[in-house]
Structure 1
Amino acid sequence: MNTVLYFYAFLLIFLLKVAISVFIYFSGNDFFGGGNDSTYYHAYAIGETDVITSAWPVFLRWLNELGVYSREFISFCLKLIGFIVIPLLVARLAWVRKSLDRQRVYWAAIVVISAYPTLLYYTTDIYRDVIMVALWLLGVFIFRELSSEKRLFHKTYFFVFGLAVAYLLLEFRGYLGFSYFFALVLAPLYSFRRYPFIFSIFIFLAGLFGFYLFGLLEPVLAYRSIFSDYQTGGSNLGISFSSVIQFFPDLLLSVVYQLFGVYFTGISSVAVFLTESLPFIFLITYVIRNRKYSTKFVDYLIVFFVTYSIIWLLGNDNLGTAVRLRMFSYISILIAFFVIYQTKKIVLCCGKC
């Protein structure tokens, strides 16, 4: 498939998303559950409530105090970011300069991320998720620069900017900012390519179990227990991590149900599995099987993916919320896939020369 066909595919998806957005606007359907946060954000922006949950409603009220807030206009801006800016950012992050396939991969990445249903859904109103994804992707550019930069001054320069991004993400969603910071600091110490995969998994699980035994995971698990009080259309999973014996079985179920999406409560969950989880399973399988072609940039993505994913897998017990939280996990692996794919072709091509 050449770049022209990818461009037309993107254009077709773009027009289809516009039509779907109009339909959702008038139907008001909540396809993925998890509540309509946008109603609360609007209420805070116009002063009907003073409960602060993140930096996003504070920003919206600030716009309102300046006299420039409009729910429809903000929603329109988020659509532009979700439909155009985010696909361009992902495509640029997937770009490998030495790859002969970089143009084709660029447009393929645009098409794939443009077809992400959950990202589309959160462009339909003033949700914070779209702006968080865009901000996080800008932070991933810092990961890429740090992975290739050799000069100490320039590495320090980018690291400071990374700290600023981590702080902003922390204000939007605490564990997202923490996971970004964790990868920023510790990814240089890890090599996805060099360290044996099974050994890495064993060490990680042993460390995680140790944290559980010493009660260090209690704040995250306490948050998870909140979901038992709020049933949302049967989408709560009932996984509690309530005993030492059940820790690993519960963790496995949480990964299978939430990360891989193998938990069906209706037609919408089946549709999300087919359009999001199934492609993710293919992507992560490819990344793991071809990790010998990984790069330092991919190391950052993998450390972030593991850290962020394990936090929300431990802290969340709702399928609808999982669909929203795992966007960052899925996009991390998507970018890693494209980088490894191109690096593999470069290495194999050089081997034939």
Structure 2
Amino acid sequence: MYDSFAQSGNLKGITFWMDILAYLNVIGLYDRMNITISIQFMSVFIIPLVVAKLILNITNDTQLVMFSVLFVSCYPSLYMYSGDIYRDVVMVLIFVILLYLVDIFFRVRVNGKFLCLILVLGLFYILFGFRPYLGVALLLAFFSSYFYLFKNIKILLAFYFMLIIIIHSLGLLDPLLEYRASFGEIDAGSTLGIDISNANVLTVVPLFIISYLGQFFGFFIINANSALVFLTESIPVMYMLFKVKFSILSNQFYRFLFYFIIIYNTVWVMANDNLGTATRLRIFSYLGVLILYIGSLALKYKKDEWKVLR
């Protein structure tokens, strides 16, 4: 699709990535093979390098930095989508650069804060152009991070599910559910077949949870590939997620990641009903979980060192 559009002569696509490829073709720099090689270079070298730089802002522990780099470098779906001119790897690179800048923005006091904010907002806009709901989720999470609402996790979950029921009852989820229903028209074994559009007040949350388990956690296993992805992606992330310490959310950057994961996951889990698409969409959430996990370990190591010193 991307290759044919880039050479079609049409300069206005439905995403920034299509526009970029078309523009490269116009100025004579479009070459599918060279762009693919560049994307592979991003996946193998640049993205892990930026992730390492971000983790170094969190901790100086070499093992944690190397673990993060290894996780990103060996991430199966990221490697798979670097095999052609897909937009996913480019988006992930922009995403991790954005996270690095957001972390710096929350750390600096005055000097450079305004410039950092301009860069952050610019990357929000670029990601919005690549995938609108990703950019919106990041922007909402950025502003929400100024509010600390974690007095009780049970109350927070109850509020979250109640909010889903309310917005579903008001019909605010209809555009997402209509898009989700389109997957039912595709005769593909990777479609979950969960119909939330006809759900009522009593069934919308259970159906959403089932969809969440199948897509974000990868429990919808249909073949050897999905089993491999479950073993190499989902299980490690589930382990990291359950090791995240709730106390780190007193830090604004971690709150930003936490809010982003909630908002972004809610949108794409509601709108998507295909396991293959889910492996692409959840990359950003999985990276967020990785950083929260590293932050939790860094805090634990710091406390242990303090106990030893005392």
**Bigger relative CO (Cα 8 Å, ≥ 6 apart):** 1
Determine whether 1:240 maps to 2:240: no
Q: What residue in structure 1 maps to residue 14 of structure 2?
A: 53
Q: How far apart are the structure 1 equivalents of 2:203 and 2:11?
A: 40
Q: How far apart are the structure 1 equivalents of 2:80 and 2:60?
A: 34
Q: Deviation per CA, 1:77-111, whole angstroms, max 9, x where unpaired?
A: 000000001111122222245x452x222122111
Determine whether 1:90 maps to 2:17: no
Q: What residue in structure 1 maps to residue 223 of structure 2?
A: 266
Structure 1 residues 146 and 203: CA distance shift in structure 2, 3 A:
farther
Structure 2 residue identity aligned to 1:248: V
Q: What residue in structure 2 maps to residue 341 of structure 1?
A: 297
Q: What residue in structure 2 maps to residue 168 of structure 1?
A: 126
Q: With the length of structure 1 as denominator, give the TM-score of the two structures.
A: 0.83
Alignment root-mean-square deviation, CA: 1.7
Q: How far apart are the structure 1 equivalents of 2:181 and 2:269?
A: 13
Structure 1 residue identity aligned to 2:69: I
The answer to whether the Cα contact below 8 Å between 1:44 and 1:51 also exists between their aligned partners in 2 is: no
Unaligned runs of 5+ in 1: 1-39
By how many angstroms is 1:352 displaced?
3.4
Q: What residue in structure 1 maps to residue 283 of structure 2?
A: 327
By how many angstroms is 1:125 displaced?
0.4
The answer to whether the Cα contact below 8 Å between 1:82 and 1:130 also exists between their aligned partners in 2 is: yes
By how many angstroms is 1:150 displaced?
3.1
Q: What residue in structure 1 maps to residue 23 of structure 2?
A: 62
Q: What residue in structure 1 maps to residue 2 of structure 2?
A: 41
Q: What residue in structure 2 maps to residue 185 of structure 1?
A: 143
Q: How far apart are the structure 1 equivalents of 2:220 and 2:129?
A: 31
The answer to whether the Cα contact below 8 Å between 1:293 and 1:344 also exists between their aligned partners in 2 is: no
Q: Deviation per CA, 1:206-260, whole angstroms, max 9, x where unpaired?
A: 122211111111111111111111122x111111111213201111111110011
Q: Deviation per CA, 1:188-211, whole angstroms, max 9, x where unpaired?
A: 2135xx532222212222122211
The 3-state SS of whatever aligns with 1:204 is: helix
Structure 1 residue identity aligned to 2:296: I
Q: With the length of structure 2 as denominator, give the TM-score of the two structures.
A: 0.93
After TM superposition, what 4+ stretches of structure 1 lie above 6 angstroms from structure 2? 48-51
Structure 2 residue identity aligned to 1:314: M
Structure 2 residue identity aligned to 1:182: L
Determine whether 1:142 maps to 2:97: no
Structure 1 residues 155 and 89: CA distance shift in structure 2, 3 A:
same
Q: How far apart are the structure 2 equivalents of 1:125 and 1:272?
A: 19
The 3-state SS of whatever aligns with 1:189 is: coil
Q: What residue in structure 1 maps to residue 253 of structure 2?
A: 297
The answer to whether the Cα contact below 8 Å between 2:248 and 2:254 also exists between their aligned partners in 1 is: no
By how many angstroms is 1:167 displaced?
1.0
Structure 1 residue identity aligned to 2:224: I
Q: What residue in structure 2 maps to residue 211 of structure 1?
A: 167
Q: What residue in structure 1 maps to residue 238 of structure 2?
A: 281
The answer to whether the Cα contact below 8 Å between 1:91 and 1:105 also exists between their aligned partners in 2 is: no
Determine whether 1:75 maps to 2:36: yes
Q: Deviation per CA, 1:104-129, whole angstroms, max 9, x where unpaired?
A: 22122111111100000010000000
Determine whether 1:199 maps to 2:158: no
Structure 2 residue identity aligned to 1:84: F
Q: What percent of counterpart residues are identical?
A: 29
By how many angstroms is 1:48 displaced?
6.9
Q: How far apart are the structure 1 equivalents of 2:183 and 2:47?
A: 31
The answer to whether the Cα contact below 8 Å between 1:96 and 1:339 also exists between their aligned partners in 2 is: no
The 3-state SS of whatever aligns with 2:145 is: helix
The answer to whether the Cα contact below 8 Å between 1:94 and 1:336 also exists between their aligned partners in 2 is: no
The 3-state SS of whatever aligns with 1:308 is: helix
Determine whether 1:249 maps to 2:210: no
The 3-state SS of whatever aligns with 1:225 is: helix
The answer to whether the Cα contact below 8 Å between 1:96 and 1:342 also exists between their aligned partners in 2 is: no
